[in-house]
Amino acid sequence: MMQEHSTERLVRAAHIAEFSARHRLRWLEALPWVAAIAAYFVFPNYLALGAQILATILFVLSLDLVLGYAGIVTLGHAAFFGVGAYTAGMLAANGWGEPVSGLLVGGVAAAAVGLVSGAIVLRTSGLTLLMQTLVVAAMLYELANKAHRFTGGADGLQGMEMWPIFGTFRFDMFGNTAYFYCLVVLFLCWAAARNVVHSSFGRSLTGIRENVGRMHAIGAPVARRKLLIYTFSAALAGIAGGLIAQTTQFVGLGVLNLERSGMALIMLIIGGVGQLYGAFIGVPLYMIAQDRFAEVDPAYWYFWIGLSLVFIVVFLRGGVFGVVERLFGRGKSP
């Protein structure tokens, strides 16, 4: 009996040690931030584009939380991105151009939409869930189109004037402030997302993705946890939309359309679904590939994007980051 208890304690200690090791920072996790800082000095003429890439990484990261970890398939994630963009944009266009508070309000507005819509759509699954997420995005798209007085409709929301960050760092046409602003926000949101996925809550999300029936059997509040991660993901997507609105000082209907949701999904698949870092690889690779293919074959560049995606799905399981993990991390997720 004592030997059995001793063995049980050893097994429990091994599980705790493994869980702690997963949460520990590794040197590979510093690479995206080193690369982002280096890009500031290496590509000083492309900082405005770099700011948009960083904001898009945050958007794709938010999608990874619901798709890669909770297994919630959605094609309407742009709804939350658009709500954050329009909220931050309308605040700036109506006399409140303080960036940080505008960004927070955009995130809260997107989280509220995620909470309300998630309480409805997450009651379903499969194709029905997929279609309902599309319906939410389509409804918001049409609302933004019809509310021309507030959103600018098809002409887009213009006339935004952003104040200096903390009254000191003024936005310039070269993107210096915008780049570091997006980088800091991305880092803070990434740190929050990392803590979530490596917590007991995050591990339960993986269990829900792998076997929802078993999670129900052990008494886990599956519906509540799916709604929580859906709302949190919506908040991050809203912050990403707010960043785009503030740094470009323009918001168009494109922030809510299906193409943006599909593009985010493609970027995530290229980088690696359920890896937390797939967005950091998928977004730059997609944008570089898009630029190169469009230059070589302007009429059919989407074909080459699709062909590349098929190659990744068939031969690079887990995306590009999955390959990196197998090479340097011995197959373990960070």
16-28 as b/e, with b when 16 or more CB fall inside 10 Å? eeeeeeeeeeeee
pLDDT value at position 4? Answer: 53
Domain end marker among 256, 281, 307? 256
Residues sharing a CB contact under 8 Å with residue 258, sequence separation 6 or more, in sequence order: 75, 76, 78, 134, 137, 138
Greater confidence (321 vs 25) lies with 321
pLDDT value at position 333? Answer: 42
pLDDT value at position 332? Answer: 43
Taking only the tens place, the pLDDT of each residue in 289-321 is 888 888 888 888 888 888 888 888 888 777 887
Residues 265, 248 share a domain: no
What range does the domain containing 300 cover? 258-334
* Residues 263-281, mean pLDDT to the nearest whole number: 90
Q: Which of 213, 187, 215 is nearest to 203 (CA)?
A: 215
CA triplet 240, 245, 247: central angle to 5 degrees?
A: 95
Lowest-pLDDT range of 177-181, 194-198, 305-309: 305-309
Lowest-pLDDT range of 4-18, 158-172, 227-241: 4-18
Give 9's pLDDT tier (boundaries 50, 70, 90): low
Residues 279, 158 share a domain: no
6: number of Cβ within 10 Å: 10
Residues 182, 230 share a domain: yes
pLDDT value at position 314? Answer: 81
pLDDT value at position 23? Answer: 60
Residues 277, 192 share a domain: no
Residues 205, 281 share a domain: no
Position 20 pLDDT exceeds 70? no
Residues 286, 251 share a domain: no
Domain end marker among 256, 271, 288? 256
In a domain, 10, yes or no: no
Residues 159, 193 share a domain: yes
* 224 half-sphere exposure, CB direction, 13 A CA radius: 5
Residues 113, 219 share a domain: yes
- Does residue 69 sit in helix, strand or coil? helix
| Dihedral pair phi/psi, residue 251, rounded to 5° | -135, 125
- Pairwise CA distance, residues 63 & 72, whole Å: 9
pLDDT value at position 22? Answer: 56
Rg of the chain over Cα atoms, rounded to whole angstroms, equals 21
* Residues 197-214, mean pLDDT to the nearest whole number: 90
Taking only the tens place, the pLDDT of each residue in 112-167 is 999 999 999 999 988 899 999 999 999 999 999 999 999 999 899 988 889 999 88
Give 29's pLDDT tier (boundaries 50, 70, 90): confident
Length in residues, the chain: 334
* Residues 239-252, mean pLDDT to the nearest whole number: 95
In a domain, 147, yes or no: yes
Give 238's pLDDT tier (boundaries 50, 70, 90): very high
In a domain, 173, yes or no: yes
Residues sharing a CB contact under 8 Å with residue 98, sequence separation 6 or more, in sequence order: 163
* Residues 97-101, mean pLDDT to the nearest whole number: 94
Residues 304, 206 share a domain: no
- Does residue 169 sit in helix, strand or coil? strand
Q: Tally the domains of the chain.
A: 2
* Residues 181-206, mean pLDDT to the nearest whole number: 94
Helices (H), the chain: 2-23, 31-42, 47-64, 78-93, 99-121, 126-146, 148-151, 176-197, 200-210, 212-217, 222-248, 258-271, 278-296, 301-315, 319-328
Give 8's pLDDT tier (boundaries 50, 70, 90): low
- Pairwise CA distance, residues 6 & 120, whole Å: 48
CB 333 within 8 A of CB 325: yes
Taking only the tens place, the pLDDT of each residue in 39-50 is 999 999 999 999
Q: Is residue 257 classed exposed, middle or buried when 0-12, 13-18 and 19+ CB atoms within 10 A define those classes?
A: middle
Give 247's pLDDT tier (boundaries 50, 70, 90): very high
In a domain, 19, yes or no: no
CB 239 within 8 A of CB 54: no
Across all residues in the chain, what is the average pLDDT? 88
Structure tokens at 139: 């409804």
Residues 205, 120 share a domain: yes
Greater confidence (19 vs 320) lies with 320
DSSP string of 203-261, one letter each residue: HHHHHHHH-HHHHHHTT--HHHHHHHHHHHHHHHHHHHHHHHHHHHT-B-GGGGSHHHH
